[in-house]
Chain A
Amino acid sequence: MPTPPTPPFPFPKEYSFPPFFTPQINLATRHAQLTKWSSLILSYCRHHAIYRLSLSDTTTSPSSPAYPLFNNDSINRRLSLSYIKEIIDFMRRDGRAEWVSGSGSGEQQQGDLVWVYWRTPEEWAGLVEKWVEETGNKGQVMTVYELVEGEGSRGSEFWGLDQELMVKAVQVLVKKGKAQTMGGEENLGVKFF
């Protein structure tokens, strides 16, 4: 998606602290570390408008936008894949992350793609609902593509949102009885109430 160049992300000072990249043995320290990592991932993804991470891509490909997140080349430290998965699991318990379905579900066979919910689908749904209310789009039919890429919603917070994530948000609205969908998964249409 066409995003304007974002200013560099201000990393917290833990990021330059080598032990931060090593799983801590002490349970309390470990928990604090997980919390720190979780908030770092969330704010990094928010800053760069990243909605999902490919773990293998971010850990190995330096061209990946999220590569600096788990790799601090300046202190020559990187996060191991298994520890990343532990962090993701930790975030999952908070509802801040989710394995992208289709890329392997279940506890054992964890996939590579992961949703990073710096806004959960419920939160996105709230934003969309507010926008619909404010712009008088109640009772209108819109396509998900239009919501995410259209001219009408340009400038709203969810503009440029991952379409799949938008579909999730729309489904939250459907559950609340605020919207109804039509058409297939690929080009979902939605009517707001």
Chain B
Amino acid sequence: MGGNSSKITAQDQAIYDLKLQRDRLHQYQRRITHLTSRETAIARTLLSQNDKPRALLALRRKKYQESLLAKTDQQLEQLEKLVSSVEFALIQKDVVFGLQQGTKVLKEIHAEMGGIDKVEKLMGETAEEIEYQKEVSEMLGGRISVQDEEEVEEELMRLEAEMAPTGQKVVEEGVGRLPDVPDTELPEVNGERQEVKKPVAGERREAIPA
């Protein structure tokens, strides 16, 4: 048995002892319960043998054992309560310990940051540096933006160049198709009119019949 190793603390030992007591009481109760039921049986057989006084004695014994049982019940309850409060106290201890650790770590971190004044100073410095950076950017900004502008414009032109051919195609297709619509039947009805209207027909086909 590795009975006394470092992992088992004094509290564990105490809980174990308490639980041992509880187990003993538990066992005792079982014995008593067994006895009482036997006592009843004895009384019954004695009564059937017409031995009243001894039957009474057996019943008295039974009564006494029952009172013992009630007492042990109370004790058992006490023990169980104690066990659970010890266990709960242990958990509380753990919680407090955890809080302590947390606070310690927080304090350490704060110490590393070096107090509010230092943080304030740091923030001021940061603002200054940002300001400085802005100034530098502005000074450089003019040149860079002109260069950027040129690039942007160049890109725009390139894009336009890319877009242009496709756009023209659409227009061309539209122009190419539209004149097909009027039929050759018309000259028979009204030759002159058609000649006049023909250039317009590309734009407004529907107007022709009117």
Contacts and interface: CB of A to CB of B under 8 A. Distances in A.
A141 B5 CA distance: 14
Interface of A: 140-143, 145-146, 149-150, 174, 180-185, 187-189, 191, 193
Given A180-B2, A181-B1, A185-B1, A143 B7 contact: no
B149 interface: no
Interface stretch (B16-24, B140-148, B167-175): B16-24
B51 interface: no
Contacts of B4: 182
A191 B7 contact: yes
Interface of B is mostly: helix
A122 B15 CA distance: 27
Contacts of B26: 145, 149-150
B164 interface: no
Given A180-B7, A182-B13, A141 B19 contact: yes
A187 B3 contact: no
B19 A180 contact: no
A143 B23 contact: yes
B151 interface: no
Given A140-B87, A141-B16, A181 B3 contact: yes
A189 B7 contact: no
B52 to A, nearest CB: 33
Contact of B20 (A140, A143, A181): A143
B199 to A, nearest CB: 93
B20 A189 contact: yes
Q: Which of A141, A143, A145 has the most CB of B within 10 A?
A: A141
A191 B8 contact: yes
25 contacts: A140-B87, A141-B15, A143-B20, A143-B23, A145-B23, A145-B26, A145-B27, A146-B19, A149-B26, A174-B2, A180-B8, A181-B1, A182-B1, A182-B3, A182-B12, A182-B16, A183-B1, A183-B3, A183-B20, A187-B20, A187-B23, A189-B16, A189-B20, A191-B8, A193-B7
Given A146-B23, A181-B1, A182-B1, 18 more contacts: A143-B16, A143-B19, A145-B23, A149-B26, A174-B2, A180-B2, A180-B7, A181-B2, A182-B3, A182-B4, A182-B16, A183-B3, A183-B20, A184-B1, A187-B20, A187-B23, A189-B16, A191-B8
B8 A182 contact: yes
Contacts of A146: 19, 22-23
A101 to B, nearest CB: 16
